Amino acid sequence: MNINEILNIKYPIIQGGMAHISKASLAAAVSNAGGLGQIASGGFKAEEVREEIKKVRKLTDKPFGVNVVLMNEDVEDLVKVIIEEGVEIITCGAGNPAPFFEKWLDAGIKVIPVIANVKMAKKVEKLGAIALVFEGAEAGGHIGSLNTFAELPAIKDSVNIPVIGAGGVYTGRQMLAAEILGASGVQIGTRLLTAEETPVHENFKRALIEAKDSDIMVTGIRTKMPTRVLKNDLAKKLNEIEMSGGDLDEFFKLAKGSGKKAVEGDVNWGSIYTGEGLYFLNKIGSVREILDGLMKEYEEVKKYFKENL
Ligand SMILES: Cc1cc2nc3c(=O)[nH]c(=O)nc-3n(C[C@H](O)[C@H](O)[C@H](O)COP(=O)(O)O)c2cc1C
């Protein structure tokens, strides 16, 4: 894996932007541990992102990125803040990045779009992306329809820029699997939700640790915004509304602001975005432990296969 060389980081691991969650504390912890930490813009105003950028610089001298949610109302302001603050790396998704690309490239920013299929991969390569993240539907939060481990090789074959695999990576074994399928690095989100440095309420972390692997579901299919979440009172109610076939006003009313609610501790009526690997979330540990653990297993399994196959 060589995305670490391109991004000037020690480990080929990017922390995905997580709305309401990935602030300076998490981003700096990931960067200090050798990965690429990222500030989220989902759920934050452009000026709040500016403050987090300033904070992260006080906490680390290592590279970090900012995740641009393109459908944010104040995306123009956000793009301005990113350029003014001299951010060097961004990931972007949930919308069309084309109108902003030239500005980003002129400012010398390394742009890594998050894409969900071959068509989008080819498009962002043409626009000048330095690499791309392919996020499969195993991931937590808003998802596409194609899965990481089935689609990754197709994305790899369709472009000439490095591909970063996201969605379903919790172990060194999965990192190696992603590499074999063509990934130059991985992006992780859910694996970091129970980290000490992740600024979510203790209830949020406990809910994930106590849940079983099968306690996940996808809500919002009828809204065309499918979202992988932990099964709780809210998720069951949203599902009931969708399945009843009625109008979706009540769905939107309940879903509005629910991500923030969960982060603040309401694990029954907040939306806990989570990926498929709940089995691997069994304690609260430091970001450094998580990243070192991933790399240790990745190196060991790689060595084993080199020697035994
Ligand atoms: C709680 C949560 C919030 C997320 N918010 C965002 C976001 O704001 N922007 C984004 O591009 N991706 C978001 N994602 C996706 C992650 O950046 C990352 O790609 C994904 O978590 C990788 O899959 P994994 O959860 O299986 O590790 C979110 C994921 C989670 C779990």
Each residue's pLDDT, cut to its tens digit, for the chain (309 residues) gives 889 999 999 999 999 999 999 999 999 999 999 999 999 999 899 999 999 999 999 999 999 999 999 998 899 999 999 999 999 999 999 989 999 999 999 999 999 999 999 999 999 999 999 999 999 999 999 999 999 999 999 999 999 999 999 999 999 999 999 999 999 999 999 999 999 999 999 999 999 999 999 999 999 999 989 999 999 999 999 999 999 987 899 999 999 999 999 999 999 999 999 999 999 999 999 999 999 999 999 999 999 998 997
Q: What local confidence, expressed as pLDDT, does residue 198 receive?
A: 98
Choosing from 41, 132, 273 the residue with most ligand 1 atoms within 8 A of its CB, the one to mutate for a pocket test is: 273
- Closest residue by Cα to atom 21, ligand 1, is 189
Q: For residue 181, what are its two tokens? A: 């399928």
Residue among 1, 13, 87, 41 nearest 287 (CA): 13
Question: Domain 3-198+282-308 has what CATH class?
Answer: alpha beta
* Element (DSSP H or E) covering residue 76: helix 75-84
Residue among 18, 121, 19, 26 nearest 64 (CA): 26
Q: What local confidence, expressed as pLDDT, does residue 245 receive?
A: 86
Strand residues in the chain grouped as ranges (E): 13-15, 37-39, 64-69, 89-93, 110-115, 132-135, 141-142, 163-166, 185-188, 216-219, 227-230
| Amino acid in the structure at residue 1 | M
Domain ranges of the chain: 3-198+282-308, 212-263
Handedness of CA 185, 191, 195, 199 (dihedral sign): positive
Q: What local confidence, expressed as pLDDT, does residue 309 receive?
A: 77
Cα of 22 from ligand 1 centre, angstroms = 10
Q: How far apart are CA 218 and CA 225, in angstroms?
A: 10
Cα of 112 from ligand 1 centre, angstroms = 15
